[in-house]
Structures are given as structure tokens and as C-alpha cells.
Amino acid sequence: MDMKVSFRHPRLPEQLALDDQDQALIMLLQTGLSLSMSPYAELGRRLGMDEEEVISRIENLVDRNIIKRFGVVVRHHELGYRANAMVVWDIPDDRISDLGPCMGQFDFVTLCYRRPRCLPAWPYNLFTMIHGRDRDDVLDNVELLAARCGLDDLQYDVLFSIRRFKQRGAIYRKVEKSD
């Protein structure tokens, strides 16, 4: 592989328009709701909005699919699902709109994204994160996925993590410090 080639891809998905109050709400929501009787009213106090507006803004973010899911966020690793692999697939462009949603519906698939290929070094255009109790369980799930969605003729690769150097939640916007 010629490492002098830059693999830089120029395009990023366009960002969605959010007003200042949505942005402030999102910033506070990153750390989760307070575990108290009236968590939305509490968010409202910090944002200078009433409870009703906080709730309707969250509903709106859910409707627009900016919030994919609202609820209890568990830690897989701590709950015994200790293995995961990034499984990458080379899906013909004309099949991806059928196969992507098929693969994305399984609960052991926690990410299912189309990304650009970088030929010739990188032929894969669909990225899935597949979880299991251990590596064998992950590989069983890969086989199950291939069988259910009809992927047997496609090239794929399983990338297990060897070492974790860093893992934390994304910080989209800096959380204001109180000090």
C-alpha cells in the first residue's frame, strides 16, 4: 500500500439547523436527566424555560430523529456483553438501501452506517458494530446476520479490538463549567 496517498474524503453530511435554545438543551442533555421527581422542570430552571417547553422541545428532537432514542442507556461491557467487533461489508451500491435496513434491525447490531469506500486500500462501504458475550458469540451473530439478510456472497472483514486507548461519550459542545 502506498502510504503517500492521502485518503482524505472531502464530504461530510450537512448539519441540521438547531436554534440557540435547542443547542442549549442538547448541551445539558448530554449528561443525562437528573434522577429526581421533576427532571424536565429542573432542566427548564437551568435553561430559563418552563417544563412544558422542555418536554415539547425534546419531543420535537425525537420527531426529527436528532434524538434516536430516549431512555435508560446501559453499559454493555459491565452487563456481561464483553466482546464486540467492527464488521465491515462491501455491499453493491444498488443493494445497500435494501440490505442496510435489514442489518440495522438486529439488537446485537448497535451501529449500522454507510461510509465511503477508499479504493483501492479500503473496499468496504457498510460498517456494523456487533456485540456478544465473547468473540465466538460475536462470530455466531455475524453468521446469523449473513444468513438472515442474504449476505453470503459478499466480502466482509471482522475487526476485533486488540487494545482500547480511549473511550468516552462524544462531547459535541463543551459543557459549561460551573467554576
Partner 1 sequence: MHRVNTDIEQFRTCQLNSLEKRLLNEFQHGFPLIPRPFQKIAEELDVTEQVVIETLENLQSQGFVSRVGAVFRANSIGASTLAAMALPEQQLEEVAAMICEYSEVNHNYQRNHDFNLWFVLTARDEQALNAVLDDIEQRSGFPVMYLPMEEDFHIDLGFDLSWT
Report the distance separating Cα 108 and Cα 111, nearest Å: 9
Q: Which of residues 98-127 bind partner 1 (CB under 8 A)?
A: 100-101, 103-105, 107-116, 118, 121-122, 126-127
Total residues in contact with partner 1, by rule CB under 8 A? 94
Beta bridge partners of 123: none
CB of 152 to partner 1, least distance (A): 19
Q: Nearer to partner 1 by C-beta: 60 or 147?
A: 60
User: What's the CA gap between 101 and 149, in Å, rounded?
Assistant: 10
Is 7 one of the binding residues for partner 1 (CB under 8 A)? Answer: yes
Whole-number Å distance between alpha carbons of 10 and 17: 21
Q: Which is nearer to partner 1, 36 or 178 (CB)?
A: 36
For 27, phi and psi rounded to 5 degrees? -60, -45
143 binds partner 1 (CB under 8 A): no
d(CA 176, CA 179): 9
Q: 16 vs 144, which CB is nearer to partner 1? A: 16
CB distance 150 to 86 below 8 Å:
no
Does position 80 interact with partner 1 (CB under 8 A)? The reply is yes
Quick check: 73 binds partner 1 (CB under 8 A)?
Answer: yes
